[in-house]
């Protein structure tokens, strides 16, 4: 598992299910059934998530795990989440 925290492009079906992802200038097509993950929260991996200065809980994010394959044949599993206010996608983790 590799932790990643960067913006990626994700294409979804009309139902909102991921179909493609572009990461490091390479396009991957979803090659297995995506799984919806429990909602994640921004900063949950860091101590900042528990800072007493926060007065309101963070908004949960829609998150998915899916296997995708590039044209080169490389296959990875991706964990992604959609930011609630601007609908941008973040890549959280990859698995070989």
Domain spans of the chain? 2-38+59-95
pLDDT score of 11? 97
pLDDT score of 60? 73
Q: Each residue of 44-83: pLDDT tens digit?
A: 454 455 556 666 666 678 899 999 999 999 999 999 999 8
Any idea of the CA torsion for 41, 44, 50, 54, to the nearest 10 degrees? -30
Work out whether the CA dihedral 37, 43, 44, 50 comes out positive or negative.
Answer: negative
pTM of the model: 0.80
């Amino acid at each position: 598992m590799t932790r990643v925290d960067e913006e990626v492009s994700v294409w979804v079906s009309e139902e909102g299910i991921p179909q493609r992802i572009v990461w490091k200038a390479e396009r991957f097509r979803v090659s297995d059934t995506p799984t919806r993950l429990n909602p994640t929260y921004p900063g949950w991996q860091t101590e900042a998530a528990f800072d007493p200065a926060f007065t309101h809980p963070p908004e949960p994010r829609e998150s998915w795990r899916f296997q995708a394959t590039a044209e080169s044949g490389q296959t990875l599993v991706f964990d992604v989440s959609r930011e609630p206010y601007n609908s941008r996608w973040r890549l959280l983790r990859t698995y070989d």
